[in-house]
Structures are given as structure tokens and as C-alpha cells.
Amino acid sequence: MGKKYCISKNIIINARPEQIFRVLADIENWNQWTPSVKRITIVNDIKFNKGTKARIVQPKLLPALWKITEIEKNKYFTWVTKYIGVKMTCKHIIESKNNITSVESVMIYEGIFAKLFYRLTSSLASQYLTMEINGLKKECENRIRERKFKLLIKDVGFLTVSEN
């Protein structure tokens, strides 16, 4: 097999793995938290699971069909797309150690035209992975803040200030 070309981005997210995975697994709503995705549409009847096929529309790129090939709930998922002479694999990995959760997104190019495709697209792919990982962090941490705020309001009760 030929050489593989990789792009990797990682980040610490102040959320539990299951909270992060819940956001990642809601693939049809990625466009709500990352500008790297215009739309994701599941094209078969399999909701986020091994075998799910999704059409992804991204700025500056042709629509692509991605297929989920691996999932371990709250830990990772992998999806793959293929073009003539190149296979692209994207892995989203969640790791938690000592109450610190990190997320890594890895794009792997393989195949006879991998080097060429990597040279043509790696800059944009790197930008998009950065947008995705930063957007994921913001979305997960915002959801936690919103939940804590709602619990605080519920515990304290709705406070009003009277005008005098």
C-alpha cells in the first residue's frame, strides 16, 4: 500500500465524553456549529450508525458521500469517502483522562493519487478541521453553560426587579 498523508487537530473540551459524542453524532446539525459545513443529509435509512451514508456539502468543495465505518459510543467514529484513486478517512476521537477530555480529528489520505489530492486540498482541509474542532468545543461548552443556567434559575426561582 502507498504512503498515507495525514492532517490532525486536537483540542481540550470542558465536557464529558458522552456530551461531546452527542453533539458529534447529531451529524445533520453540524452546520449549526461549524462554518465548514453547509449541510449534511443522511441518504440511507440508517441514523448515525455503522453503515450510515451522508451527503456532505461544504463551501469551496463538491458534495461528497461519506460512509460511517466505525463507531464506539462516547469514544470515536470514523467515516470514509472515495474518489478515483484516493480514499479519505476522517476519525473523530474522544479521550478522557483525569477529568480532562480531549478531542482529535484526523484526516487520512490514501491511494494512488493521495499525494496529489493532499497537495491540492490539505490547506483547506486543515482550515475546516480547525473550524470543526473549535466549533465543537464552543457548542459543547455552551450547552453545559446553558444547562447550568437553567438549573440555577429552576433552583433559585425566577427573580424580578421592581422599578420604583
Determine phi and psi for 13, rounding to 5 degrees.
-125, 130
Residue 24 banded pLDDT, cuts 50, 70, 90:
very high
Confidence at residue 1, expressed as pLDDT on a 0 to 100 scale? 58
Confidence at residue 106, expressed as pLDDT on a 0 to 100 scale? 98
- 5-156 in CATH: which number? 3.30.530.20
Helix (H) or strand (E) holding 147: helix 114-156
Domain locations in the chain as residue ranges: 5-156
35-75 pLDDT, tens per residue?
999 999 999 988 999 999 999 999 999 999 999 999 999 99
Q: Is the pTM of this model over 0.85?
A: yes
101-147 pLDDT, tens per residue?
999 999 999 999 999 999 999 999 999 999 999 999 999 999 988 87
Helix (H) or strand (E) holding 5: strand 5-13
Residue 162 CA, distance from chain mean position: 45
DSSP 67-113: EEEEEETTTEEEEEEEETTEEEEEEEEEEEETTEEEEEEEEEEESTT
The C-alpha angle with vertex 53 and arms to 6 and 123, in degrees rounded to 5, equals 25
